[in-house]
A and B are shown apart, each in its own frame.
Chain A
């Protein structure tokens, strides 16, 4: 029990440090902070998905990203979301890009930010965008963006766009 409590404290301190670091670099680097975390996330996404099964099916690719996260002990629970007025999970833009809404529930970034009073939707959240971009680039071979539509206290809504 002592060991677990010690690990938890270390983990809490690590995330606290990361959140503080990201909050600290934002005023200095401005938009540059987002590029840095995006790039770090993309490298991680590429690295983690190096051996992933390639597919052109977006739903399959999303499952693959989930498997990668679980295999690497990352707690980022997400699920596809379909508003009642929409027929399918995946929609297409007039330009031919595919779009999918994702709801993120357990997220260690949000929990660290809220615990220590930092704002959401900052550079640390942008790391997740990078992660998806990197992972889907490897799995589908296509460019991807992950836009935060809503950052809530208990879950977040994001829009995944996979370019044609």
Chain B
């Protein structure tokens, strides 16, 4: 099951992750002025939050990582008929 964490000390509260997330996984904690994971179940592992976070504070674990297709032997062989 996918896990997602925000490194609390690194978060600068810019809320970019809240803006970019298509499935509203984050909330903004007014008290700490930092982002917090609210609904990890909704995460589709698009990784947009991890890429956009200026502090590189967001980490994902146990998700399907997409590889470049030409590095995937199985896929390369399936694509044979198009070549």
* A residues apposed to B, CB below 8 Å: 4, 7-12, 14-15, 73, 75, 81, 83-84, 103, 105-108, 110-112, 115, 149-150, 152-157
Residue contact A11 to B42, C-beta cutoff 8 Å: no
Partner of B48, one of A10, A14, A81, A152: A152
Residue contact B44 to A4, C-beta cutoff 8 Å: no
Partner of A11, one of B46, B63, B65, B70: B70
Residue contact A7 to B22, C-beta cutoff 8 Å: no
In the complex with contacts A7-B80, A83-B23, A152-B69 CB distance below 8 A: no
Question: Chain B contact residues (Cβ within 8 angstroms of A): what range?
Answer: 20 to 34
Main secondary structure of the interface of A (DSSP, over half): mixed
- For this complex, 12 residue pairs linking A to B, each with C-beta atoms less than 8 Å apart, are A14-B83, A73-B79, A75-B75, A75-B79, A81-B44, A83-B42, A105-B64, A108-B79, A111-B69, A150-B48, A155-B66, A157-B46
How many Å from the CB of B43 to the closest CB on chain A? 10
Verify if B53 is at the interface (C-beta below 8 Å from A).
no
Q: How far is the CA of A14 from the CA of B80 in the complex (A)?
A: 12
How many Å from the CB of B39 to the closest CB on chain A? 5
In the complex with contacts A152-B44, A156-B46, A8-B70 CB distance below 8 A: yes
Partner of A154, one of B22, B45, B80: B45
Partner of B76, one of A8, A106, A112: A8
Closest 3 CB pairs of A and B: A152-B46, A150-B22, A154-B47
